[in-house]
A and B are shown apart, each in its own frame.
Chain A
Amino acid sequence: MSASHSAPTQASPMNVIGRPHPRVDGALKVTGAARYAGDHYLPGMLYAVPVGATIAKGSITAIDAGVAEQMPGVRAILRRGSFPPLGRAELDMSSADTTSILDEFRPPFDDDVVRYYGQYVALAVADSFEQAKAAADAVRVSYAVEIPDVDPALVAEKMTVKSERGDAEAGFAGAAVTIDQRYAMAPETHNPIETHATLAVWEGDALTLHETTQGVINHRNVVARMLGLPAEKVRVISRFLGSGFGNKLWPWTHSPLAAAAARTLGRPVKLVLSRAMTFQSVGHRPRIEQRIRLGATADGKLTSVRHDYVNATSILDSYEENCGEATPHMYSTPNLRVTAGIARRNIGTPTSMRGPGAVPGLYALESGMDELAVALGMDPVELRLRNEPSIDEGLGVPFSSRHFQECLRVGAERFGWSRRDPRVGAMTRDGLTLGWGVAACSWIAERFASNAAVDLRDDGTARVACAIQDIGTGTYTVMAQMVAERLGLPTDRIEVALGDTRLPAGPVSGGSMATASLVAPIHEAVAKAGAALIAAACAAKDGPFSGSRPEELDFVEGKITAKTGNRQAMGFDTVLKALGMPAISGSGSGTGTFMAPGKPTVSKHSFGAHFVEVTWQPETARLRVARTVSVIDAGRILNPLAARNQIEGSVVMGIGMALFEETHYDARNGAPVNASLADYVVATHADAPAMDVHFLEYPDTSLNALGARGVGEIGLAGTAAAITNAVYHATGVRVRELPLKLEHLMS
């Protein structure tokens, strides 16, 4: 395991930005003291356990709760009609304060129609978890059953053009070398180790939710609309989140259900989903089928790229997996056509899963590029180097900062790619066949609108606040770093407050955008606090800067300094004490770039290259991912310790995507049959390879003053393709259906 950095950027005064920084919340996490949503308990709290439909298509004809209602400790078996119907939240993306986004729009208990297995049909509420669980199991639901459609073979309702240039058909027809292949991917379930939890408590007409959410503000706004409340009557708290990978981005139906139950029963209600429920009703990455057609000249210049894809979605919601996100800008080609479609199934609504769109899309594109390299008899690194675009040819604008070729070259060097024998099965070590594969990765670099507030305090500490979340990526720490750097303080003097809608409105933690979104508002908040301190110091009748004019002073690294003369600078704590003020505040805000109206003037993306070595033992059919090298161009890295962890974690998840992960739906009743962590296999300690992560570190100041992009998702893009490309090199078998199974290799 190693990590290193090239092109070091200028060190900040406190060396706190850009250096490995242990997490400021680490001691709470390693002692069990960090309290997650489900760790909260309130006096008189009741426990709720949902009853999920055991069919995937049909309607409820009767709910017999007679036995359940008589069981010890049971307070209610709630169902449609037990409380006034919940409202439907409408999509609103207009501002950081009002965002209202969700994927499953139908409110729980809205009608008696069942459209997927596990759809909530009732809710058992009791004094203890054991009582609620037993009661939920005792509820008898009768259905008019219909045959569900969970067919994995996808046919789109219609195909929509997402990006087009030139004449892709003619470019393909006239190409010297072509490939035309289909790639399929099984439905994946996110499976953060923390399952979803809601603790709902009412005080009068005001609701507080302790919630597992990647977006407290968005969650508040959605739940307020469903409950018919003004947003200011709802508080959502998520101070620690047991990750989410996207399935806690948008509210799911259990949350308003818990709130409605608490309102109906006049008691706090805790609802924690079982692991099995998280396979049913909180989103997943749907099954995706893609077709890649590539045409190239004999010397490997692309003449045509076609990328067509279809994803499954639910009956009511039109979730689109944007697989073509990276395709238009990844390589230079005069002719390109990307089309997309959806196919409806009796399965719960899909949602964003780490790197939505680009991750499955780059699995297909980067598999196709490897197949093209084989068809051309060309090294796959060389093929990619030859098709480097000078601008984003999809948008027709320059890249803000693209160093993909350097990722390939540095990665090849670190991996030892020059020693690769391209012949299938030609490389061996210790009796094992080696396979070496490469694939590119890319991910959007954008920011959301956000606000922040900073308090400077007379004890020499500062507090930074934003209603953003730390989903495990290190947001607490990077916020502390940002303020520490501006104030010239160590991070242990910075208090970070996040995960609470009472704080200045912040964005969702998604799209790898949290860090980039925070820079401008935090910098402005520090500057405003400093300006307020200067104004107060100048206005004071008696104090160190009495009689000065604000324009004569500066606030630099936490100190008031005179712009001219050699007057000694004075720290904010000393000034505050002299003024008799306990604290002074500043607030800042930053605009968003994500989905901003108008045509962008620059294309902002991160890039990278993964190199993978697999070992293959044909005698025992044993396939292992042995080592990986990932070179990532994601702007300036603010905390290399946390950033490397993100890339390594993504590579581990990519091993799962390539080799293990698949949600199976029973054709008879639509149930996800492997809805457990024993049967849905994720990568374990024993599956983790030796990983080398390297960041190029070219600051991209198009997004923020620190030059940071984001690193949460890009590492998952391309990993699966690099693995299956390596498997081809080892075995000669091209696997075009994820996850790869041993039977693919043994046939």
Chain B
Amino acid sequence: MSDPTSNPFSAVEPNSDLLSVVLRINGASHALQIDPRATLLDCLRDTLQLTGTKKGCDHGQCGACTVHINGRRRNACLALAAVHEGDEILTIEGVGTPDRLHPLQAAFVARDAYQCGYCTSGQIMSALALLQEPCGPGDDEVREYMSGNLCRCGAYANIVAAIQDVRGQS
């Protein structure tokens, strides 16, 4: 477990305004001192420097911050970090690494299922959840299930193709 005062990037002095929480992220426990107002998204990024999870709108409208909480996809910007003690949180950093890609990540590379890459973590976290959800086999169904994740570059066709590759539906 990490030391709660070990964040070298935080200018915030530990004080009574902060909450002590333990968050389970990607299988590891992190003892943290956090602002009670902090969203899970800002906590992941600003406190833990887990910057693979992106902020696109901060209002639950774009899906760039999608993570899994207890196996279900959630917008981390709409979750308060402090209420997720005891929950299993999975972020893109827990899915695969550049040297060991998850098959879904490899499919995104092969299909060019991105352009700028900024929404990509969220797309992959949603797609990873979709694999376990009761989504029908067709491209249209995948499109509906993925429509909470905006890609302004418009790489939608390739994203659906990558997901269908992994589902064996292409």
Contact partner of B51 (CB less than 8 A), chosen from A35, A275, A645, A691, is: A35
Contacts of A650 in B (CB 8 A): 154
Contact partner of A30 (CB less than 8 A), chosen from B62, B114, B154, is: B114
Query: How far in angstroms is the closest Cβ of chain A from B66?
Result: 12
CB of B83 closer than 8 Å to a CB of A = no
As a 0/1 sequence over residues 81 to 124 of chain B, the CB contacts with chain A under 8 angstroms (1 = contact) are 00000000001110111110100011011101011111111001
As a 0/1 sequence over residues 5 to 17 of chain B, the CB contacts with chain A under 8 angstroms (1 = contact) are 0001111110101
Contact partner of B35 (CB less than 8 A), chosen from A130, A648, A649, is: A130
Is B95's CB under 8 angstroms from A31's CB?
A: yes
Is A130's CB under 8 angstroms from B42's CB?
A: yes
Known: A33-B98, A41-B49, A72-B17. A194 touches B116 (CB 8 A): yes
Is B109's CB under 8 angstroms from A28's CB?
A: no
A245 to B154, alpha carbons, bound, how many Å?
12
Contact partner of B116 (CB less than 8 A), chosen from A128, A195, A471, A641, is: A471
Is A34's CB under 8 angstroms from B150's CB?
A: no
Is B11's CB under 8 angstroms from A44's CB?
A: yes
Contacts of A272 in B (CB 8 A): 55
Contacts of A359 in B (CB 8 A): none
CB of A585 closer than 8 Å to a CB of B = no
CB of A1 closer than 8 Å to a CB of B = yes
CB of B152 closer than 8 Å to a CB of A = yes
CB of A415 closer than 8 Å to a CB of B = no
Beta-carbon nearest neighbor of A21 in chain B? B112
Contacts of B161 in A (CB 8 A): 1
8 Å CB interface, A270-284 against B: 272, 274-275
Contacts of A688 in B (CB 8 A): 143, 154, 156-157, 160
8 Å CB interface, A684-726 against B: 684-686, 688, 691
Is B93's CB under 8 angstroms from A1's CB?
A: no
A691 to B155, alpha carbons, bound, how many Å?
11
Is A275's CB under 8 angstroms from B114's CB?
A: no
Contacts of B156 in A (CB 8 A): 648, 652, 683-685, 688
Is B154's CB under 8 angstroms from A653's CB?
A: yes
Beta-carbon nearest neighbor of B115 in chain A? A472
Is A686's CB under 8 angstroms from B98's CB?
A: no
CB of A314 closer than 8 Å to a CB of B = no
Contact partner of B154 (CB less than 8 A), chosen from A34, A128, A649, is: A649
Query: How far in angstroms is the closest Cβ of chain B from A100?
Result: 25
CB of B153 closer than 8 Å to a CB of A = yes
Query: How far in angstroms is the closest Cβ of chain B from A115?
Result: 27
Query: How far in angstroms is the closest Cβ of chain A from B117?
Result: 3
Beta-carbon nearest neighbor of A191 in chain B? B152
Beta-carbon nearest neighbor of A651 in chain B? B154
CB of A51 closer than 8 Å to a CB of B = no
Known: A33-B98, A685-B146. A127 touches B11 (CB 8 A): yes
Query: How far in angstroms is the closest Cβ of chain A from B85?
Result: 18
CB of B167 closer than 8 Å to a CB of A = no
Q: How many cross-chain pairs have Cβ atoms below 8 Å apart between A and B?
A: 209
Is A683's CB under 8 angstroms from B105's CB?
A: no
Main secondary structure of the interface of B (DSSP, over half): loop
Contacts of B119 in A (CB 8 A): 193, 242
Count of residues in A whose CB is under 8 Å from the partner chain: 70
As a 0/1 sequence over residues 252 to 280 of chain A, the CB contacts with chain B under 8 angstroms (1 = contact) are 00000000000000010000101100000
Interface 9-residue window, one of A300-308, A388-396, A674-682: A674-682
Query: How far in angstroms is the closest Cβ of chain B from A629?
Result: 14
Contacts of B54 in A (CB 8 A): 36, 193-194, 242
Contacts of B92 in A (CB 8 A): 31-32
A474 to B12, alpha carbons, bound, how many Å?
39
A457 to B109, alpha carbons, bound, how many Å?
28
Query: How far in angstroms is the closest Cβ of chain B from A686?
Result: 4
A26 to B67, alpha carbons, bound, how many Å?
20
Is A648's CB under 8 angstroms from B154's CB?
A: yes
Contact partner of B112 (CB less than 8 A), chosen from A23, A192, A241, is: A23
Contact partner of B114 (CB less than 8 A), chosen from A29, A127, A129, A471, is: A29
CB of A22 closer than 8 Å to a CB of B = yes
CB of A46 closer than 8 Å to a CB of B = yes
As a 0/1 sequence over residues 71 to 83 of chain A, the CB contacts with chain B under 8 angstroms (1 = contact) are 0110000000000
CB of B25 closer than 8 Å to a CB of A = no
Contacts of B165 in A (CB 8 A): none
Beta-carbon nearest neighbor of A1 in chain B? B157
Chain B CB count within 10 A is highest, among A649, A652, A691, for A649
Is B11's CB under 8 angstroms from A677's CB?
A: no
A375 to B59, alpha carbons, bound, how many Å?
48
Query: How far in angstroms is the closest Cβ of chain A from B122?
Result: 9
Contact partner of A242 (CB less than 8 A), chosen from B101, B116, B124, is: B116
A469 to B42, alpha carbons, bound, how many Å?
27
Contact partner of A241 (CB less than 8 A), chosen from B116, B124, B147, is: B116
CB of A619 closer than 8 Å to a CB of B = no
Beta-carbon nearest neighbor of A648 in chain B? B157
Contacts of B3 in A (CB 8 A): none
Contacts of B154 in A (CB 8 A): 648-653, 683, 688
CB of A38 closer than 8 Å to a CB of B = yes
Contacts of B35 in A (CB 8 A): 128, 130-131
Is B96's CB under 8 angstroms from A31's CB?
A: yes
Is A274's CB under 8 angstroms from B58's CB?
A: yes
Is A275's CB under 8 angstroms from B155's CB?
A: no
Known: A32-B51, A650-B154, A683-B154. A243 touches B115 (CB 8 A): yes
Contact partner of A472 (CB less than 8 A), chosen from B52, B97, B116, B157, is: B116
Query: How far in angstroms is the closest Cβ of chain B from A694?
Result: 15
Is A472's CB under 8 angstroms from B59's CB?
A: no
Query: How far in angstroms is the closest Cβ of chain B from A408?
Result: 24
Is B152's CB under 8 angstroms from A275's CB?
A: no
Query: How far in angstroms is the closest Cβ of chain A from B165?
Result: 12
Beta-carbon nearest neighbor of B117 in chain A? A29
A46 to B46, alpha carbons, bound, how many Å?
11
Contact partner of A685 (CB less than 8 A), chosen from B51, B120, B147, is: B147
* CB-CB nearest 6 A-B residue pairs: A32-B52, A472-B116, A242-B118, A652-B154, A29-B117, A649-B154
User: Can you name 8 A-B residue pairings with CB atoms under 8 Å?
Assistant: A1-B161, A26-B108, A38-B55, A193-B62, A193-B150, A678-B59, A684-B156, A685-B151
Chain B positions within 8 Å of A, measured between CB atoms, are: 8-13, 15, 17, 35, 37-38, 42, 45-46, 49-59, 61-62, 64, 91-93, 95-99, 101, 105-106, 108-110, 112, 114-121, 124, 142-144, 146-147, 149-161
Contacts A193-B119, A193-B150, A193-B152 aside, 10 further interface pairs with beta carbons under 8 A come to A32-B50, A127-B10, A128-B11, A130-B42, A134-B37, A473-B115, A650-B154, A652-B156, A677-B150, A688-B156
